Amino acid sequence: MRKRYDEAYFNKWYRSSRAVVSAESRERKVRLALAAAEYVLGREVERVLDVGCGEAPWRAVLKRLRPGIEYTGVDSSEYVLRRYGRRRNIIAGSFGDVGRLGLKGRFDLIVCADVLHYVPAPELRRGLVSIRRLLRGIAYIEAFATSDQVVGDLHGWHHRSEARYRSEFAAAGLIACGLNCWLPRERSHLLGAMERCG
């Protein structure tokens, strides 16, 4: 059965008693990602790309914290695009297609929250490589491994080990700097040896 990211889906997993990410938790994630990117860049974040953004809940927090920020969301949900596309600057696309969307310039912060575990293997590396090419600062990319205890929507979940994820990120040219934050290998000089993970 094909998964549908319609209004009922977002109501069930983001606005009901089954919601797994609270507003407080999301706020902490946004602040973490923003702080990491600004630390690396040495200035405030100006451009954000949110891949698999859904209804763009990160956008509201980012706009409140940095009113002048330029936000671009990418999502494949027809519901999201129809309802929020123009208003929240969300364009049609998927994780694997992010490099083919004609996005101009580089982004200070690229977000991919609660997405990677639903991405099929052929799209995984293609999307990670594209993210690295579009990235100027930090990418906040959540990846849940088979050893993690996960609660929420498991339909269409791709079970991958920590080693597999680390291998894919490394092959794409991304270096871990902790707490779901990644830096392009060519910009690793911006961090000290002990700020990098591995």
Predicted pLDDT of residue 155: 62
Average pLDDT, the chain: 91
Higher pLDDT, 113 or 12: 113
Domains held by the chain: number: 1
CA–CA gap between residue 140 and residue 181 (Å, rounded)? 5
149 found inside a domain = yes
Res. 193: pLDDT tops 80 = yes
How far separated are the first and last CA of the chain, in Å rounded? Answer: 40
Contact 111, 48 (CB under 8 A): yes
59 found inside a domain = yes
- Please provide residue 142's backbone torsions phi and psi, each rounded to the nearest 5 degrees: -80, 135
For the residues 8-21, what does the mean pLDDT come to? 71
12 found inside a domain = yes
60 found inside a domain = yes
CA–CA gap between residue 151 and residue 164 (Å, rounded)? 21
* pTM, rounded to two decimals: 0.92
- Please provide residue 88's backbone torsions phi and psi, each rounded to the nearest 5 degrees: -115, 10
- Please provide residue 177's backbone torsions phi and psi, each rounded to the nearest 5 degrees: -130, 25
Res. 154: pLDDT tops 60 = no
Res. 183: pLDDT tops 80 = yes
The 10s digit of each residue's pLDDT in 35-62 is 999 999 999 999 999 999 999 999 999 9
23 found inside a domain = yes
Can you give the CATH number for the domain in which 46 is found?
A: 3.40.50.150
CA–CA gap between residue 86 and residue 74 (Å, rounded)? 12
66 found inside a domain = yes
The parent domain of residue 161 ranges over 7-195
25 found inside a domain = yes
Higher pLDDT, 158 or 145: 145
Among 81-90, 118-127, 131-140, 153-162, the minimum mean pLDDT is found in 153-162
24 found inside a domain = yes
- Tally Cβ neighbours within 10 Å of residue 87: 8
